[in-house]
Structure 1
Amino acid sequence: MKRLPPLPALHTFLITAQCCNFTRAAEQLHITQGAVSRQIAGLEDHLGYELFIRQARGLSLTAEGREWLPRVQQIFGLIDEAVEQIGEKRETLQLKAPTCVMRWLLPRLLQWQKERPDVPVELTTTVKHGVDFHREQFDAAVMYGAPPDSSLTSHHLFDEQLTPVCSRPLLEGPVPLLTPDDLEHHLLLHPTRDERDWKAWLKTADVHLSNVGKGQHFETLDLAMSMASQGTGVAIGDWSLIGDDLRAGRLVMPFALKVRTGLAYYLVHPQRPAPSAPLAELLDWLQAQARATS
């Protein structure tokens, strides 16, 4: 009996066949283009024939590749169903989310546990914004960025809307903060290393500052918001994520302008099989919470 091809290589073949492009497949698999190419070459060596025709403008499937594709799709479909059916026996729902959404998500999950202690949720945080349900055993995930591709079932939560925030003592302090131009005299707090959020807001506000690159940089939005609430400086944050801080008075908005970036937060889960009843209830509940936020 011939040795079976490795499952990871078959999964790489499936994604590559759907994209017909090594670069896009690498992006979806969260590995390098070279790793995709090597896995495909190894699978072809194992089988004894080529699965793709390499062309200058991309890839196309060989006759053997076209025969393999529906069979591999069926294999992973059966694995997905088995994982979901067996996973239904778990009492705990597995949820993945990026750290940037924690300020909004965590208090709501704590409220969910108070209301539904019979459906506990285990949350895994990550600095990455993607999820691969073939490789990661999560029931659902929160994703930040552009709309997810059609391979996932997605539910829009809210759009990213950037606005400066600070503490009330800083706003009412001796250094004026009446117009965006007054930001020149305050320390700017950046939730990212690349300063893109401040630059996007200032561009829309038509304000030019000399101190953008002199501000304090943080690894996460949560750290920047915490420092802003302590009066350290003025941070740029997502209005949808910091609503609880604004309502509680921990942060205030010195200006009314909110800038939409075109990015958003989404709840996603595999297309099949259908989510379990507890998961469907949690997803509906979180969407209702998001509607109340916006």
Structure 2
Amino acid sequence: MKTHPRVDLVSGPTPLERLAQLSARLNIDLWVKRDDLAGTTLGGNKSRQLEFYLGKAVAQGCDTILITGAVQSNFVRTAAASARKIGSRTIVQLEDRVPGQDQHYATSGNVLLNDLLGAEVMRYPDGEDEAGADRALRARAEQERAKGHHPFVIPLALGNPPLGALGYMRAAKEILQQRDGFDFVIVASGSGLTHAGLLAGLLDNGFAGVVIGSCVRRDATQQQRRIRTVLDDLQALLGRPDQIGSDQINIWDGALAPGYGQIGPQALNAMKLMAHSDGLLLDPVYTAKVFAAVPALVESGDIPQGSKVLFVHTGGLASLFAYQIALAGRLGS
């Protein structure tokens, strides 16, 4: 299998903890993988992905990192922080994806941290055009190259080598070394790199349970196709034949509405349930929509009572503060 350069951004295994109150309440054995503690500036799953993107950047002698993402993107913020650790400058492109947001959303949370980290900010108005966002980033990279810089672009759209997925192949092995025997693993499914990498890594290490990706941006039909594509590209990156069947790609989109970056009732209830039960915080964009799958699937019987379940907490807590106005008056019992 091919190897790829990596920089060390996640210092040691992140904790794997049992959620005692929710386990009793839901009648399952519920655990959380605390990847909200991975890496810099409030942590998150993107740190594991960036180990490989920045590893390649360092190997190529790059001095400028360019990345694109939503206005409150955790990936963008973590890239800006991680680039500082390797001595690089960062140019971040913020895409307008979430309609009807207030000025607080546009200036707080991850946006504030990007400013604090000294990242240069570009804007891209059409956040649903991933290919166009990548083209704009590459055009800026060419401008930087003409100035004598050595840029490295972290792309967003499908069709690029999914280096970030390698980070969650490593995380899968880490999880199984900490504790085995999970019946279900629940994880975010957005760009697809975390979901596909975790699925591939778990299956590589003999996992016999079910991995469920909870949608945060696209519906289940679209996301099923996206994960299939990422897995195919991942196998090509690894230099091995495809080993994962489409029947092993499990998608749930019950908390996606009303859309990316917007808070529906199931996500809101999941935030309150986790906070009130075990004192752990979730963000509105990713982890609230992901954890919402657990009580919903227990209630439907798709997760049988007594099952051993792992919820992968991918972080994103900086964006929570951008939703202060949207959440005002909605968080009480």
Q: Which TM bucket (shorter chain)?
A: under 0.3
Q: Which has the higher strand share?
A: 1
TM-score (norm 2): 0.25
Normalised TM-score (structure 1): 0.27
